[in-house]
């Protein structure tokens, strides 16, 4: 077995120490203070190596991003959209699945009500109330979700989300590129304001997932491109082609997209330059990125009235 590199060992040591702080301090504010203090001491220590400094800076940047996401966008889970979009099911059922996942805990079980933990787990009889659809639609939706193994109903009637499609917590490295953060509050708000007949329209947002750029949240042909100058942006006509919409009705299509709002803000934004109109997704619905400054810019862009 290959010995772990010095870099890997130092990461383990630093992360172990941070974990010990979290385990020994119950209060979240005190946890943050202790961790920040530990990081500052490491950076100021003359004996700290360049490798340790780099590691600490990366951990600090990650924590800053995480705190910004929670404060500005709220809590989230990760959706693995590639296998999800391969399923041959109607789009309203996919949107209902995306919504159900917002009730997921770190064990991939659904929670319901004010209680948390084992006493607050959602059971099968809660599903119709949570989905808020007619009895007929409820049975249709439940059948589709079960038949496609999107949800599993356990022996105790609790509901488990299949980890192939969504997870809350750390994402395996081999799945990062095919994942997106789904903002729980934003999706719950969209769902609550919509009629059951509008769920198919809201599923438009799901079909956009493969085209959201990982760094800038712009809709484009090359979602992994980091350099903004090299991004091949999609316009409304391109979007109609990809999603199978009649181009002659693109004005109506745009109106539908602009009617979808989250927290009083546009979910989809059209931004015009002399080169054309570019389409961005509000991170309060979906966010793929990992850059603090990019996220600040995106949040502020959608705040403009």
Residues 148 and 90 in one domain: yes
Which domain CATH number covers 297?
A: 1.10.10
Cα 117 to its chain centre, rounded Å, is 22
Query: 196 with 96: CB under 8 angstroms?
Result: no
* Stronger pLDDT, 230 or 53, i.e. the higher one: 230
Tokens of 180: 């997106």
Q: What is the mean pLDDT of residues 268-284?
A: 85
Partner residues linked to 183 by β-bridges: 76
Q: How far is CA 230 from CA 62, 123, 293, in A?
A: 26, 48, 19
* Strand, coil or helix: 305: coil
Q: Is residue 265 part of a domain?
A: yes
pTM of the full structure: 0.76
Highest averaged pLDDT of the listed ranges 26-35, 41-50, 176-185, 214-223? 214-223
Count Cβ neighbours within 10 Å for each residue of 200-223 and write b for 16 or more, e otherwise. ebbbbbbbbbebbbbbbbbbbeeb
Closest CA to 174 of 183, 164, 182: 164
Residues 170 and 234 in one domain: no
d(CA 33, CA 30): 5
Q: How many domains does the chain have?
A: 3
Q: How confident is the model over 196-236, as pLDDT tens digits? A: 888 887 888 888 889 999 888 999 999 989 888 899 999 88
Q: Is residue 127 part of a domain?
A: yes
Domain that holds residue 259: 208-303
Q: How far is CA 56 from CA 44, 65, 86, in A?
A: 11, 14, 40
* Stronger pLDDT, 2 or 269, i.e. the higher one: 269
Q: What is the mean pLDDT of residues 33-41?
A: 62
Q: How far is CA 187 from CA 160, 205, 226, 262, 300, in A?
A: 19, 10, 27, 8, 20
**Percent of residues, the chain, with pLDDT higher than 70:** 76
Residues 58 and 124 in one domain: no
Tokens of 254: 């745009």
Residue that terminates a domain, selected from 129, 155, 176: 176
120 burial type by CB count under 10 A (0-12 exposed, 13-18 middle, 19+ buried): middle
Q: Is residue 198 part of a domain?
A: no
Residue that terminates a domain, selected from 72, 101, 130: 72
The secondary structure element, H or E, covering residue 253 is helix 250-258
Tokens of 271: 């931004």
Q: Is the pLDDT of residue 2 over 70?
A: no
Q: Is the pLDDT of residue 150 over 60?
A: yes
Q: Is the pLDDT of residue 103 over 80?
A: yes
Tokens of 12: 């383990």
Q: How confident is the model at residue 59 (pLDDT cuts 50, 70, 90)?
A: low
Q: How confident is the model at residue 98 (pLDDT cuts 50, 70, 90)?
A: very high
Residues 82 and 172 in one domain: yes
Q: Is the pLDDT of residue 1 over 50?
A: no
d(CA 255, CA 89): 25
Q: How confident is the model at residue 288 (pLDDT cuts 50, 70, 90)?
A: confident
Residues 81 and 68 in one domain: no
Query: 237 with 247: CB under 8 angstroms?
Result: yes
Residues 92 and 172 in one domain: yes
Q: What is the mean pLDDT of residues 118-130?
A: 85
Count Cβ neighbours within 10 Å for each residue of 67-96 and write b for 16 or more, e otherwise. eebeebbbebbbbbbeebeeeeeebbbbbb
Partner residues linked to 212 by β-bridges: 219
pLDDT at 161: 97
Residues 68 and 80 in one domain: no
Residues 149 and 61 in one domain: no
Residues 101 and 26 in one domain: no
pLDDT at 112: 86
pLDDT at 20: 65
- CA atoms lying within 13 Å on the CB side of residue 148: 20
Q: Is residue 182 part of a domain?
A: no
Q: Is residue 138 part of a domain?
A: yes
The dihedral through the CA atoms of 28, 29, 30, 36 has a sign that is: positive
Q: How far is CA 98 from CA 38, 136, 141, 228, in A?
A: 38, 20, 12, 29
Query: 183 with 287: CB under 8 angstroms?
Result: yes
Q: Is residue 184 part of a domain?
A: no
pLDDT at 134: 93
Q: How confident is the model at residue 3 (pLDDT cuts 50, 70, 90)?
A: very low
Q: Is residue 194 part of a domain?
A: no
Q: Is the pLDDT of residue 35 over 90?
A: no
Q: Is residue 106 part of a domain?
A: yes
Query: 284 with 262: CB under 8 angstroms?
Result: yes
Query: 231 with 213: CB under 8 angstroms?
Result: yes
């Amino acid at each position: 077995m290959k010995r772990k590199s010095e870099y890997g060992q130092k990461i383990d040591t630093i992360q172990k120490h941070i974990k010990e702080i979290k385990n020994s301090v119950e209060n979240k504010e005190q946890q943050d203070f202790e961790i920040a203090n530990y990081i500052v001491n490491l950076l100021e220590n003359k004996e700290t190596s360049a490798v340790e400094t780099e590691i600490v800076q990366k951990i600090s940047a990650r924590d800053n991003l995480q705190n910004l996401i929670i404060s500005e966008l709220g809590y989230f889970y990760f959706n693995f959209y590639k296998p999800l979009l391969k399923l041959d099911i109607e789009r309203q059922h996919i949107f209902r699945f995306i919504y159900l996942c917002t009730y997921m805990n770190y064990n991939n079980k659904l929670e319901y009500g004010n209680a948390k933990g084992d006493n607050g787990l959602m059971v099968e009889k809660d599903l119709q109330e949570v989905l808020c659809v007619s009895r007929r639609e409820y049975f249709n939706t439940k059948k589709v979700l079960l038949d496609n193994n999107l949800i599993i109903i356990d022996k105790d009637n609790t509901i488990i989300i299949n980890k192939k499609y969504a997870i809350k917590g750390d994402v395996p490295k081999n799945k990062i590129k095919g994942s997106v953060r789904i903002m729980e509050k934003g999706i719950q708000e969209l769902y609550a304001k919509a009629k059951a007949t509008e769920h198919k329209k809201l599923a438009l947002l799901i079909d956009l997932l493969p085209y959201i750029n990982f760094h800038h949240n712009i809709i484009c042909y090359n979602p992994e491109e980091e350099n903004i100058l090299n991004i091949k942006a999609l316009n409304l006509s391109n979007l109609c082609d990809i999603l199978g919409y009649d181009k002659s009705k693109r004005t109506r299509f745009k109106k539908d997209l602009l009617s979808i709002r989250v927290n009083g803000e546009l979910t989809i934004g059209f931004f015009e330059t002399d080169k054309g109109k570019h389409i961005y997704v509000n991170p309060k619905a979906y966010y793929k990125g990992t850059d603090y400054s990019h996220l600040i810019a995106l949040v502020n862009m959608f705040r403009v009235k």
